[in-house]
Structure 1
Amino acid sequence: MDLNAVTAVLRPGGREELPARQAGDAWLGGGTWLFSEPQPALRRLIDLSGLGWTPLRADGEGLTIAATCTIVTLYGFEPPPGWRAAALISECCRSFLASFKIWGMATVGGNICLALPAGPMISLAAALDGVCVVWTPEGGERRVKVIDFVRGPRDTALEPGELLRAIELPAAALARRAVFRRASLTPLGRSGVLLIGTLDAAGFALTVTASTRHPVRLDFPALPGRLALAERIASAIPVDLYYDDVHGAPDWRRHMTAVLAEEIREELAEADG
C-alpha cells in the first residue's frame, strides 16, 4: 500500500546517522505490516536495512538475532549440537502461515515490536528466556526480558525514540528439552493458542502465548502433576487476560490452553520415564 502521507525516507548507514525522533517517525524493517494498511500519521520512515547488522551470531553464550533478521534467514539457521530447543525455531517460523514473500521480508524484531498476541517470534523468544537489546536515543542501551517487553496488543516497553537492536537467546535455554503446541480455528488460520514447554535440571517452564493478551510464563522447580499444572494456570491467568478476536473466543482459548498444557506435560513426563 502506498503511504502517501510520508514525505521523507532516511537511510542511515550507522548508529551515528540515526536521526533525532520527530512526530510521525517510524522505523522501517521489513515493512510487511507497515505497508499493509493506511498509516495517515506517518511523515518519515527511517530505513534500518543500511545499518548492516549481522542477522545471526551463535557462540558459547547463545544465539543473538538482529532485529532486522528476516524470518527466512532465521528458519535456515543450523544450530550447533546440543541445542535441543532450537527445533522451536522452525516450528515458530512456520506459525506465520505466510507466503514466501512475507518470509523473505518480515523481520524478527518487527514481529516482536508489533506485539500482537499471535506473534510467533514473541512465543519463541519468551519461551527461551529471550532478552531484548534496546538502543536508547542518548546513545546507550538497555536490556529487557521479552516476557516483559511485550505488555499487550500493540504495546511494548519501548520508550519514544528507542530502537530494538537484537534479541539474545541464552545457550542454557537452547539446550533444554522443548515441546511445542499450537491451535487455530482453521487449518491455515492465525494462532489462537500457542504454548511451549521447556524442561531441564533447573525445572519446568510453560510459556503461554496467542491465547493471552501478553505472554505468560509459569515456572516450576520440577515437572508438575496434572492437577498442580491445571491449578497454576487457572490461578495465574485471569479470565480477562484471554484474548478475544475473530481468531478465537476467550472461553475457547482458555479451554485449549489447559488442553495443550496437559499434552505438553504428558509428553515431557513420558520422555522422562
Structure 2
Amino acid sequence: MDQNTIETVVRPANRRAFPRFEDGDAFLAGGTWLFSEPQPRLRRLVDLSACAWDPLTVEHWGLAIASTCTVAALDAFQAPPEWTAAPLISQCCRAFLASFKIWNMATVGGNLCMALPAGPMISLCAALEGTCITWTPLGGERHTRVVDFVQGPLQPALKPGDILRRIDLPREALMRRFAFRRASLSPLGRSGVLLIGTRSTTGGFTLTVTASTRRPVQIDFKWLPVASELRDRLEVAIPDSLYYDDIHGAPDWRRHMTHVFAEEIRAELRRPAS
C-alpha cells in the first residue's frame, strides 16, 4: 500500500547519523506491516537497511540476531552441531505460514516490536531465553528479556525513539532439549496456541506459553515436574483474564489446549534423550 503522507525517507549508515526522533517518525525494517494499512500520522521513515547490520553472528556466548534479520535468513541459518535446540528455529519460522515474499522481507525485530500474541519470533526468542538490546535516543542501551519486552498485544517495551538493535540468544539455551506444540483453528491459520518446553543439561525444565496468552508466560522448574505440579503452576501463572480472545481462538479453547500441550511436552521431555 502506498503511504501518501510520507514526506521524507532517511537512510542513516550508522548510529551517529540517526536523526532526532520526532512525532510522525517511524523506523522501517521489512515494512510488511507498515505498508499493509494506512499510516496517516506518519511523515518520515527512518530506513534501517543502510546500517547493513550482520543478520546473524555466532559468538562464544551464543547467537546475536540483528533486528533487521529476515525470516528467510534465519531459517537458512546453519547452526553449530552442538546446538541441540537449533531445529526449533526452523519450526518457529514455519509458524508464520506466510508466502516467500513475506519471508524475504519480514524481520525478526519487526515481529517482536509488533508484539502480537501469535508472533512466532516472540515464541522462539522467549523460549531460548533471549535478551532484547534496545538503543535509546540519547545514545544509551537497554537490555530486556524477551518475555518482558512483549507486555501485551501491540505493547512492546519501547519508548518513542527507541530502536530494537538485536536479540541475543545464550549458548546454554541453544544446547537444551526442546519440545514444540502449536495449534490453530484452520490448517493455514494464525497460531492460537504455541508452547515450547526446554530441558537443560542439569535437568531443569522451562515451559514458555505464547499465542494463547496476551503476553509470553514462562514457568521455570529446577527439575522435571510431575503432572499435577505443572498443572498447578499453570493455573497460578495464567489467570483466565490473561488468555487471549480473538477470531483465532476463544479463551476457554486456548486454556484447554495450553494444558493439553503442557502435559504432552512434559511427557516428551521426560523420556531419555535419543
- TM-score, normalising length from structure 2? 0.98
Partner of 1:132: 132
**One-letter code aligned to 2:204:** G
Indicate whether 1:209 and 2:210 are aligned. yes
Q: Describe the superposition over 1:71-123 as per-residue Cα deviations: whole angstroms up to 9, x where unpaired.
A: 00000001102111111100000000000000000000000000000000000
Cα distance in 2 for partners of 1:55, 1:251 equals 39
**One-letter code aligned to 2:261:** L
**One-letter code aligned to 2:223:** A
Indicate whether 1:68 and 2:74 are aligned. no
Cα distance in 2 for partners of 1:236, 1:69 equals 32
Partner of 1:243: 244
**One-letter code aligned to 1:119:** G
Partner of 1:146: 146
Cα distance in 2 for partners of 1:101, 1:109 equals 17
Indicate whether 1:7 and 2:10 are aligned. no
1:33-182 aligned within 5 A: 33-182=33-182
Cα distance in 1 for partners of 2:179, 2:244 equals 23
**Structure 2 SS opposite 1:271:** coil
Q: Describe the superposition over 1:179-222 as per-residue Cα deviations: whole angstroms up to 9, x where unpaired.
A: 11000000110000000000011510000000000000000111
Q: CA deviation at 1:59?
A: 2.1
Q: Which blocks of at least 5 consecutive residues in structure 1 are unaligned?
A: none
Q: CA deviation at 1:4?
A: 1.1
Cα distance in 2 for partners of 1:46, 1:60 equals 32
Partner of 2:192: 192
Cα distance in 2 for partners of 1:60, 1:272 equals 25
Alignment size in residue pairs: 273
**One-letter code aligned to 2:249:** G
Q: CA deviation at 1:271?
A: 2.7
Partner of 1:234: 235
**Structure 1 SS opposite 2:271:** helix
Q: CA deviation at 1:272?
A: 5.7
**One-letter code aligned to 2:87:** A
Q: CA deviation at 1:226?
A: 0.8
**Structure 1 SS opposite 2:225:** coil
Cα distance in 2 for partners of 1:140, 1:202 equals 37
**One-letter code aligned to 1:255:** H
Q: Describe the superposition over 1:42-97 as per-residue Cα deviations: whole angstroms up to 9, x where unpaired.
A: 11111000001000001221000000000000000011021111111000000000
What is the aligned-residue RMSD (CA, Å)?
1.0
Q: Describe the superposition over 1:208-251 as per-residue Cα deviations: whole angstroms up to 9, x where unpaired.
A: 00000000000011110111111110111000100000000000
Partner of 1:32: 32
Cα distance in 1 for partners of 2:243, 2:222 equals 26
Q: Which blocks of at least 5 consecutive residues in structure 2 are unaligned?
A: none
**Structure 2 SS opposite 1:195:** strand
- TM-score, normalising length from structure 1? 0.98
Q: Describe the superposition over 1:147-172 as per-residue Cα deviations: whole angstroms up to 9, x where unpaired.
A: 11000000011111110000000000
Cα distance in 2 for partners of 1:202, 1:6 equals 53
Cα distance in 2 for partners of 1:154, 1:22 equals 20
What percent of counterpart residues are identical?
Answer: 63
